[in-house]
Amino acid sequence: MIVMTTELKVKDLSGESACNFMLNCGDEDYRRWWPGTHLAFHTTKRLSGNVGNLVYFDEYVGKRRLKFEGIIVKYVPCEEIAWQLKKVVKLPAWLIMKFKEDNDGVIVSHTVKAGFEGRGRVLDPILRFYLVDRDFEKDLEEHVRIEFPRLAEILS
């Protein structure tokens, strides 16, 4: 399993406001968050309780354009949203955002997990070689460190 986690403290942001934004954001709000980098994000299927919601993501991380759907597989109000990524079929990849309240902000944990468990993990080196190289890891880290302080700015 490939796991890439970035943690950062973001002042003037709460877990509640971050979660609400991610659950209710549309393309216009997403583009306002980071113009030219965030291109589209909208819910295409909404369910009661949010687990099972289907969203469409389109953004740049470094030079890579990432376009996919995500199904919310876990939702803890104000604390966590986890999406399983999908391109026609569900992929062995997840995006997990966790928010832990602090005195003057929130600690954001942004994790991308990709790969297999059990015997399938022998395929993980192929994923690392073709999809999740060191440049992508560096670009993702930088992306997360820029985007969440920007989110605090637009939500304040």
Model confidence at 135, in pLDDT bands (50, 70, 90)? confident
Q: Note the pLDDT of residue 122.
A: 67
**How far is 104 from 4, CA to CA, in rounded Å?**
26
User: Contact at 8 Å (CB) between 94 and 82?
Assistant: yes
**How far is 33 from 40, CA to CA, in rounded Å?**
11
pLDDT digits (tens, 9 = 90+) for 99-117: 999 888 999 999 999 886 7
pTM of this structure = 0.91
Task: For residue 38, count other CB atoms closer than 10 A to its CB.
Answer: 21
Region 63-89: mean pLDDT is: 96
Q: Note the pLDDT of residue 75.
A: 98
- CATH number for the region 2-155 comes to 3.30.530.20
- What Å distances lie between residue 153 and 23, 35, 85, 103, 135, CA to CA? 18, 14, 28, 18, 28
Structural domain boundaries of the chain? 2-155
